[in-house]
Amino acid sequence: MAPPRNHRPGFSRRAQYTVFAGYVLAASGALVGAILLLISIIDPRAFSALRGAMREATTPISSGADWVWDGVASVPAGIGDYFGAVSENRRLRAREEATRRYLMQARLLNRENARLRTLLALRDRSAAPVITARLVNSSASSTRRFATLNAGSRQGVMRGQPVRGPNGLIGRIVETSPNTASVLLIIDPESIVPVRRTRDGLSAIVAGVGNGMVEVRTAGVVNAPLLAGDVFVTSGTGGIYPPGVPVARVSRSQRDVAPARVFAEPDGLDFALVERAFLPAPVPRPTPSATPTPTPAAE
């Protein structure tokens, strides 16, 4: 026969002790409550002090429990804030990258605008320019330095005309075809440009050396100092280049001959202005025809 499911408390001594302890705690709680009630009625001040002592004893426990609860409750919010900060950081980085691209484009447009304005002002200042054309290529791998212009004899380009850019002199036309022209750059070893120094008018010539640089050589003055930073412009001598066009700046101080860097770097140019020669070639005089010798009349 199966034992009954429910036993009386007397079946187990442990159960008896548990029941007895419950009764004792209940009676003690009722007695303490009655005592506190009597104290609050008879002496409210003593009860108030006792209540303050209870608050002092339980406040640290309550504060610790609240701190633990706040920490546990803030874990989900902290995780959400972390992932939110990560996504916000990514979004800000993407915006910064887009802003950097826009800033770079704005700088390029500003630089191109300034260059075109300079070229337009140069065209306005130049006396009867022939045409503004594009430099389509240059011979950078050879000791000879030429550039090709996408304008030729059909556009009025002729041999001997100077070519200049927004920053200075580029070279001169040496060969033409109907729609193209070959430009001898001033950095070519065969190029010689008469110049003068801006600060004192010292006469010199600028000759190319074939490596992207030029040499400034004094003319008519012996042992003349050429200082770094001296600027040389065309003098107009020779009748090809108009005076006052920037040509080169001395890069190292020397005497008589000094290296210099040109203002118009051909590798960084795209548009150029073709001008008429400063002094046009003299028109040859017609050869007078021979006067026939009169024959004497027959008698």
Asked whether the beta carbons of 124 and 133 are under 8 A apart, the reply is no
Mean pLDDT of the chain: 79
Tokens of 64: 């610790």
Tokens of 160: 């001997």
Tokens of 34: 């009655």
CA dihedral 100, 101, 103, 109 (to 10 degrees): 160
64-96 pLDDT, tens digit per residue, is 766 777 666 666 666 666 667 777 888 888 888
Share of the chain above pLDDT 70, in %: 68
213-256 pLDDT, tens digit per residue, is 999 999 887 888 999 999 999 998 888 998 889 999 999 999 99
Query: How many C-beta atoms lie closer than 10 Å to residue 45's C-beta?
Result: 8
Reported confidence tier of residue 171, pLDDT bands at 50, 70, 90:
very high
